[in-house]
Amino acid sequence: MTKANLFIVSDSVGETAQKVISAVMAQFPEVEETDVRRFPFINNENDLKKILSDALSEKAVVVATLVNRQLIAVLEEFAGRTGLDYVDFMTPLTQMIQGKTGMIPKEEPGALHKLDQEYFNRVAAIEFAIKYDDGKDSRGFKQSDFVILGVSRTSKTPLSMYLANKSYRVSNLPLIPEVPLPDEILDVPSEKLIGLTVSPERILRTRQSRLNGLGLNIDSKYANLERITEEVEYANDVFRKLNAHMIEVDDKAIEETAAIIEEIARNRV
């Protein structure tokens, strides 16, 4: 198997290297597998040396976007001593700009993104949405800007991620009649609760399509109209009990539903 093994080492997020690697690897469609491991926020020599040692043992190419001169020196020394393959995306151009302008670089990790606090808010919100997706950890409900409730296949996760990209901290919880509600949901203010309502027939079509795509039996209980109707009725009862904002999503795109939720957010400020 033809494989490319790369380590991204950065004293910030590492997105710059990731984008360049993606562009480069697109030129090698015959490479069967690309293993890219990202090591962000590296800010001390010990951590860097451990990563470099691992890269050497795994015969990986190190792609560096470091701005700290000390860490760059560690990388250069290690590579010179061991023969480690590496590319430094930052230093050559930084040195050229310094030579042309006479200005000293700040050597500040993440300076590009620190100019935009919204970037960090968005990254944090996306990480939050992933961590608290699908009711995996009910402790996240209290920290959420919104908690999205609904039965399976009502687009809770895509909606959560869309809102996270707008810097909202969103968790979601699937509603199943046989599964008791977590106690934490009862402590969430009703203004933060969003209930997605949808017709049983629409859910049936979505679930059947999902099962077909997976090559599974569409006659299962998961895609039974009577069962789905029971789930929808249960969910609507929960919405009323919790006094959640109810949004009918049968014919709405994710963007439309998100716009309604953002309007709710604006009105409660």
- Binding site listing: 150-157
Place of tokens 């597998």: 33
CA atoms within 13 A on the CB side of 76: 11
Q: Is the Cβ–Cβ distance between 203 and 232 less than 8 Å?
A: yes
Residues flagged as binding site for ADP:
150-157
How many residues make up the chain in this entry? 269
Tokens 């930084």, residue located: 94
Q: What angle do CA 205, 209, 215 make, to 5 degrees?
A: 145
In the three-class reduction of DSSP (H, G, I as helix; E, B as strand; rest coil), residue 53 is classed as: helix
Contact 192, 172 (CB under 8 A): no
User: Residue 47 class from Cβ within 10 Å (0-12 exposed, 13-18 middle, 19+ buried)?
Assistant: middle
Helix (H) or strand (E) holding 246: strand 245-248
